[in-house]
Amino acid sequence: MNEQIQSRSAAWRHRIRRWRARARNALLFASGVLAAMIALLLYSALAPAPAPLTARDINEAVAQAMASATPPAAFSARVYQIIQPSLVLIQVKTTGRDGKPGSGLGAGVIVNAQGAILTSLHVVTNATEIALTFADGTETTAEVAVQQPENDIAVLIPGRLPEVFAPAVLGSPDAMRIGDEAFAVGHPLGLYGSMSAGVISGFDRTFQPSDDGPRLKGLIQFDAAVNPGNSGGPLLNRQGEVIGIVAGLVNPTEQEVFIGIGFAVPINVAGGAAGAPPY
C-alpha cells in the first residue's frame, strides 16, 4: 500500500515539474514577444514618419526615368542599316557623240544570291567601261547582262563579288499607299551612300527621262530628294525592302536640281529583269 502511494506521489511530482518547465518556456516566449512589441512601439514613436509623395516628387521621378531611357532608333536609321550592305556605286566611262571621253555615276542594288545588280539603263548606256564599288570597298568591273529599255532597267554582272555581301529584300509596291514613308539611297552629286526621306506621292505615273529616251509608264512618284547620282538606286519602304528603282526626277528648269518630284520603276517590274518572279 505504501509503495503505491509513493509511486503516485512521484508521478505527480514529475507532472508538476513538466508543467513548470512548460510554463517557464511560455513565459519566456511571451516576454520576448512583449519586448519586440515594446521595441516596435518605441521605434514608431521616436522615428519620424516618411513624408508623403507630392505631385512634384512623382513628376521628377518620371522625368528622370524618361531621361535615362534609351529611345529606339528612327525607322530611317534602321532602313539605312538594312540596305547599306546591298548598295553599289557605279562609275562609267563613256564616249560622247562628238567622240570625246566622258564619265558618269549612278547607284545599283544587289538583288539576288548570285550578286546580280539592278540599276537604271541610262546610267550605263554608251559605257565603254563600268566600275563597281561595293559597301565593303571591293572594286571590280561589270558587264551589262540584261537590258529593258521600255523600263529603263539594266542588270549588271560584276567581275567578282565581295567575300561577304547581302542581297536586298524585295518588297511589294502594291502594298504601298499614298502618304506611306519612302527612302531613297544612292550617291547624289557623288556623295557616296546618301539617304533622303519622304513619302509616296503618286502611282502609275508616266515620265520621259530624256528627249530621245523611251516614255516610262506605271512609275511610283515620291518626294524624297534625289539628284544626279541617285539614278539606279533603291527606293525603300520603312522595313528596308526595295519597292522601286529610282529612274529620274522632274525638273522644269535647265539646272539638274531636285524640286520635289522623283520617279521609280516598281520593283515587281524591274526585278523581272534579274529573274525575280512577278508578285
pLDDT category at 96 given cuts 50, 70, 90 is confident
pTM of the model: 0.73
Q: What is the pLDDT of residue 205?
A: 95
- Residues facing residue 142 across a β-bridge: 158
Highest mean pLDDT among 40-49, 231-240, 268-277 belongs to 231-240
pLDDT category at 100 given cuts 50, 70, 90 is confident
pLDDT category at 9 given cuts 50, 70, 90 is low
Residues designated catalytic: 122, 152, 231
Domains 82-158 and 173-274 share a fold: yes
Tell me: pLDDT of 279 over 50. Answer: no
Tell me: pLDDT of 19 over 50. Answer: yes
Q: Which CATH architecture has domain 173-274?
A: Beta Barrel (2.40)
- Percent of the chain exceeding pLDDT 70 equals 76
DSSP the chain: -HHHHHHHHHHHHHHHHHHHHHHHHHHHHHHHHHHHHHHHHHHHHHSPPPPPPPHHHHHHHHHHHHHHSPPPPPHHHHHHHHHGGGEEEEEEEEE-TTS-EEEEEEEEEE-STT--EEEEHHHHTTEEEEEEE-TTS-EEEEEEEEEEGGGTEEEEEESS--SS--PPPB--GGG--TT-EEEEEE-GGG-TTEEEEEEEEEEEEEE-SSTTSPPEEEEEEE-S---TT-TTPEEE-TTS-EEEEEEEE--SSSS----S-EEEEEHHHHGGGGTPPP-
Mean pLDDT of 67-79: 76
How is residue 27 written as a grid cell? Answer: 513565459
Average pLDDT, the chain: 85
How is residue 130 written as a grid cell? Answer: 563600268
**Rounded distance, CA 218 to CA 257, Å?**
23
Number of other residues whose CB lies within 10 A of the CB of residue 49: 6
Mean pLDDT of 99-103: 85
* pLDDT tens-digit map of 110-157: 999 999 999 999 999 989 999 999 999 999 999 999 999 999 999 999
199, 182 Cβ separation under 8 angstroms: yes
Q: Higher confidence at residue 225 or residue 3?
A: 225
Residue 139, C-beta contacts closer than 8 angstroms, at least 6 positions apart: 131, 132, 133
Tell me: pLDDT of 14 over 60. Answer: yes
* pLDDT tens-digit map of 168-189: 999 999 999 999 999 999 999 8
Instruction: Give the domain 82-158 fold.
Output: Thrombin, subunit H (2.40.10)
Q: What is the pLDDT of residue 138?
A: 96
**Rounded distance, CA 119 to CA 102, Å?**
19
Domain ranges of the chain: 1-32, 82-158, 173-274
Highest mean pLDDT among 5-9, 40-44, 201-205, 273-277 belongs to 201-205
Q: Higher confidence at residue 53 or residue 4?
A: 53
